[in-house]
């Protein structure tokens, strides 16, 4: 589902801004294929901003608001995750207010860049499509949507 939402967003973004470089089929991950029965979300674990640990997957999010990367930070985080979660599928996200690429070319290959407005669009689409089945999350997601939209300005 996230893949579908992301592909639609990137297609619309590309059409509205031909100067923007879009990498086809480069999506966050195929969330519909993930097992969400057991999820652990860690904040600031080993200096990684957000780490989402699922049964077969792990998602690493580095959120840069008013700072930039330092001392091969993204490479170190990848090495930590590779060492700790060897057999799991790994997904790396570089989240910035405007969707900037990681500074190092090697990190750009590993980390998918996302902006706050892209995340807000994804949350909004999830709420539209799945509001009935989300339950308690439907209370928190609109708040997250408001925060993401305000930070993207």
Tens digits of per-residue pLDDT, 8-55?
A: 444 444 444 433 333 334 455 566 667 777 889 999 999 999 999 999
H or E element, residue 106: helix 105-110
d(CA 105, CA 99): 15
- Distance (Å, whole) CA 74 – CA 11: 28
Which residues lie below 8 Å from residue 73, measured CB to CB, with a gap of 6+?
62
The yes-or-no verdict on residue 73 having pLDDT over 70 is yes
Q: State the sign of the Cα–Cα–Cα–Cα dihedral 7, 65, 49, 111.
A: positive
- Cα–Cα dist 79/34, whole Å: 22
Chain-wide mean pLDDT for the chain?
76
Q: Is 75 helix (H, G, I), strand (E, B) or coil?
A: helix
What are the domain boundaries of the chain? 25-115
- Please check the confidence at residue 65 and state whether its pLDDT lies above 80: yes
Instruction: List Cβ neighbours of 96 (8 Å cut-off, separation of 6 or more).
Output: 63, 64, 65, 113, 114, 115, 116
Tokens read off for 78: 């990848």
Read off the DSSP letter of residue 109: H
129 pLDDT band, cuts 50/70/90, is confident
């Amino acid at each position: 589902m996230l893949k579908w939402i992301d592909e639609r967003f990137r297609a619309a973004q590309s059409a509205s801004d031909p100067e923007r470089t879009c990498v086809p089929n480069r999506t966050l991950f195929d969330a519909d294929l993930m097992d969400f029965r057991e999820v652990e979300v860690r904040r600031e674990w080993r200096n990684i901003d957000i780490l989402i640990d699922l049964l077969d997957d792990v998602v690493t999010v580095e959120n840069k608001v008013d700072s930039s990367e330092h001392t091969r930070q993204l490479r170190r985080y990848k090495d930590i995750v590779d060492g700790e979660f060897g057999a799991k599928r790994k997904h790396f996200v570089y989240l910035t207010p405007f969707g900037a690429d990681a500074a190092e070319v090697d990190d750009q290959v590993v980390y998918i860049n996302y902006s706050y407005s892209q995340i807000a669009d994804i949350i909004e689409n999830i709420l539209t499509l799945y509001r009935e089945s989300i339950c308690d999350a439907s209370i928190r997601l609109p708040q997250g949507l408001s925060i993401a939209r305000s930070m993207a300005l």
